[in-house]
Amino acid sequence: MSMYQLPEHSLLRKKQFLYGVATASFQIEGAADSRLPCIWDTFCATAGKIKDGSDGKTACDHLRLWRDDLDLIESLGVDAYRLSLSWPRLIQLDGELNPAGLQFYIDLLDELKARNIKSFVTLYHWDLPQHLEDKGGWLNRDTAYKFADYVEKVSTALGDRVYSYATLNEPFCSSFLGYEAGIHAPGLTGRGNGRKSAHHLLLAHGLGLQVLRRTAPHSLNGLVLNFTPCYPHTDSPADKAVAEQADQYYNQWYLQPVMTGQYPEYFNRLTDEEKPVIEAGDMALISQPLDFLGVNFYTRHVYTANADHEFAVVEIKDAEKTDIGWEIYPQAFYDLLTSMHQKYKLPPIYITENGAAGADKLENGQVQDEQRQRYYQLHLNALHQAVEAGVNVQGYFAWSLMDNFEWAEGYSKRFGIVYVDYNTQQRTIKQSGHAYRQLLQSRV
C-alpha cells in the first residue's frame, strides 16, 4: 500500500485537517537518573508486574536523541506532535521547578515551533511522582491540588510555546487499571479505590483547567479520554442491559461528569464505602467548558449477562486481532463518535490516539506491517464517515510515533509507525509510516 485512500471530497484530505503523531514521556524519554522516581519505576521494580521484566530507565533514549527524533517527526510531514511532560522530571521534592528538566522541554518546544510543528502537550500521562504516591497518590484528594500547583508552575514557565494543553491522558487507565484492577502502577485493587481515584483525577483536571485559563489563555485547553465501546453479545434484554452498565462504568464515568456535571446512573449501585467523597463545587469544577476533547480509540468489547461476573467480556473468536489481542472493529469507531455527538454538546474533537500493535520484524532495512496499514486505512475511513455524519473532528494523531515501553507489556508490543531497535536505538520508518506521510503530502 503506497498511501491511505480517502474520498476526494473528504475533510480528511484537506490541509486544514490536522495530522500528528503521539508519544508519552515515560514510554520514550529514558534518563531516569535525571528525574525523581515515579510510580512506574516502582511498579517495574516489582517482580512479575511487567510482562518481559523490563523497565523505562532507558526506553527510546529520547532525552539524548530528541533532536534526531524531531528530524524524524518533521520528515513525516505532520502538522503537530503530541507529547507528555514528565511531572517527576519537572518538579523537585521541595515542589519547585527542576531547571534542567524545564530546559529540556523549553528546548524541545522551541525547536518544534521553529519547524512549524504545533505542540499538543499532555500534563499527566500516568507517571505520578512516587513521593506523592507514598502519601496516598490519587486516593489522596490533596494530590489534585499538587497537580494544579504543578500545572501553574510549568505552564507559566513555558509561556506561549504550547499550542494545546491536555490536563490528563486517559484517567480510566490511571484509576481503573492502576487503583482498581492492579494491572498498571501503582498496582492497587478494589472498586472503592478505583472510583475514589477517578474522582480525584477528574478534580485534578478541573483544577488544572482553571489554572490554564489564567496562565495559558491562548492555547487550546482540554482533556483526553479513552473509549472502548460496549456491545451486547445478543439482542437479549439481559445482554443489552449489561452492555449499557459496562459503558457507564468504563466510558461514561469519565465523559458524563465532564459534559454534564453528573456521574452516570451506575453511581447509585455503589456501596457507601465505594463512593468517592464529593465536596461542594467539585462537579462544577469538573464540568467546566473544554476547548477540545481528545478521543483515544483502539477496539471494542462485547458483553454478556453472567451470574459470576457483572461485566463478562465475550471473546469474538473468529475476529481479526492485533498483536496485543485487541479486535479490529472500525465500525465501533464510527459508532462511538456519532453516539457521543448525539448524546452530548461536544467541543471540537481531536483523535489523540489510534493505532495497532504488530509483531513487527525489521528485514532488509524495511518493516512490512500490512496489518497496521490496513488498520489505519479502515479507521481513517470510519473517521471520514463520522465527519460526514456531522461530528466535529479537527485532527488525528497516530499512536504512536515509534515503538516504546508499552507499560505492563514492556517492550513486547510494538505500536509505532517507526521501528526502534532497542539495542542500537536505530529508528526505521515502517511501511505504515511511509503511507501516512504520503497521505499527508497528498492533501489539498
Please tell me the predicted confidence (pLDDT) of residue 1: 55
| Torsion sign over Cα 117, 122, 127, 130 | positive
Could you tell me the three cell numbers for 244? 449499557
Where would I find the beta strands (DSSP E) of 149-195? Answer: 164-169
Q: Which of 170, 265, 274, 279 is catalytic?
A: 170
Pairing of strands 312-313, 301-304: antiparallel
- Decide if 353 is catalytic: yes
Pairing of strands 292-297, 312-313: unpaired
Alpha carbons 261 and 343: distance in angstroms, whole number: 14
Cβ-in-10-Å burial (0-12, 13-18, 19+) of 427 comes to buried
- Tens digit of each residue's pLDDT (9 = 90 or more) over 399-409: 999 999 999 99
pTM of this prediction exceeds 0.95: yes
Please tell me the predicted confidence (pLDDT) of residue 2: 73
Which backbone phi and psi does 328 adopt, to 5 degrees? -90, 110
Residues of the chain with pLDDT under 70: 1
- Decide if 29 is catalytic: no
Please tell me the predicted confidence (pLDDT) of residue 83: 99
Cβ-in-10-Å burial (0-12, 13-18, 19+) of 67 comes to exposed
Pick from 312, 347, 394, 417: nearest CA to 120: 394
Do residues 383 and 396 touch, judged by C-beta distance below 8 A? yes
Half-sphere exposure of 403 (CA within 13 A, CB side): 28
Alpha carbons 204 and 168: distance in angstroms, whole number: 8
Could you tell me the three cell numbers for 192? 472503592
Please tell me the predicted confidence (pLDDT) of residue 309: 80
Report which DSSP code applies to 266. G
Q: Which of 29, 133, 180, 353 is catalytic?
A: 353
